[in-house]
Amino acid sequence: MSNWDNTAGPAGDSVGQTSRSSAFRASARRHGVSDDAITRLLWSMEPAVYFDWKDPESVRPGDRVIGHIGGAPELPLDVAWEVGAIFVASFDLAALPRTLFDDGLPREGHLLLFTSSDAADGRALHIPPGTGTAVPPVPVPTEEELSFGSSHPVLDRWTMVASRDDAWDAHAWLIGEAYEGLRGDVEAEEGEWQAQLEAAVEEYAAKVGVRPAMVRSTDKLRGVQQNPHGSWDFCTDDFQRLREEAVLELRDGPERFDEVYDRAWRQLPEQPLLHLATFNLESLRYGWGEGEISWMISRDDLRAGRFDAVEFHWFG
């Protein structure tokens, strides 16, 4: 049974709804993966949903449809579609693949992403189930707004179809070139940390029989951003060092992972941002933009579902 269909963890707990670690650790242990390797994977990996774009007319019955790109958004009745708020995508959160590796996303409602007409800003909106919604007319800029450079292009509509049933992203600066990491010239201690993480991936792949996709890809939900975000600049070494300290600490009590992981995040010099979603501007046919637009979110805001607190970044 693939992870797409796996909806129950240990003792019948719903996958992704117990803790970050419990279902994944229990499954990996059953396959003989060591607790040390499991701790390194849970610490350094982020689950990702990669997706393909399809013309709505070409969607097949077996496709895993997770939302759509472009066109017009379906918005709550009390939310206006403002001029210059370019609708990018709507994810059906209930349709996302459910895996043993918790991604921290809610599993109901819709997540909508917007950018600005100059791709300099963006926001996210979570619409809970049961919310009254409607598709508003496309905003039309006034003459004054046009004179100040405002515009409101509507992106072509595509269907998003999940493309991989198992996908992780390693924080790129924590893993070596064999996994398309970004840094090949590392200090001796960091090189050792990278090698330990790579060995954990290899152990998991050999014993579980599944090698999750790990690609530097755009067009994905969660995972890790393609370009390292600046909020990690002063946290990388601490994050890796705390991981190896946790491996030792948890050997006598691996079930305490969540407690130790939470404590480690509080010890970091600042709270680095996690990746929420990325789209390629050229693929969106934005007209003039190049590079990737990304929505980032703090760990606390993700866990609390505060998607109105996302930060938007354009990597040109």
Place of tokens 């849970």: 42
Tokens 């917007």: give the residue: 114
CB burial readout 89-102, b (16+ within 10 A) else e: bbbebeebbbbbbb
pLDDT of residue 252: 94
Give the pLDDT score at 212.
Answer: 83
pLDDT of residue 117: 80
Using 70 as the pLDDT threshold, list the residues of the chain that sit under it.
Answer: 1-20, 145-150, 172-173, 176-187, 216-217, 287-289, 316
**What is the structure's pLDDT at 12?**
37
The two tokens of residue 221 are: 């939900």
Looking at residue 149, its pLDDT comes to 63
> 176, 195 in Cβ contact below 8 A?
yes
- How far from the centroid of its chain's Cα atoms is residue 209's Cα? 24
Give residue 35's pLDDT: 96
For 68-102, the pLDDT digits (tens) are 999 999 999 999 999 889 999 999 999 998 888 88
pTM (whole model) above 0.95: no
- Nearest CA to 54 out of 166, 135, 162 is that of 162
Q: What is the largest CA-CA distance in the chain?
A: 68
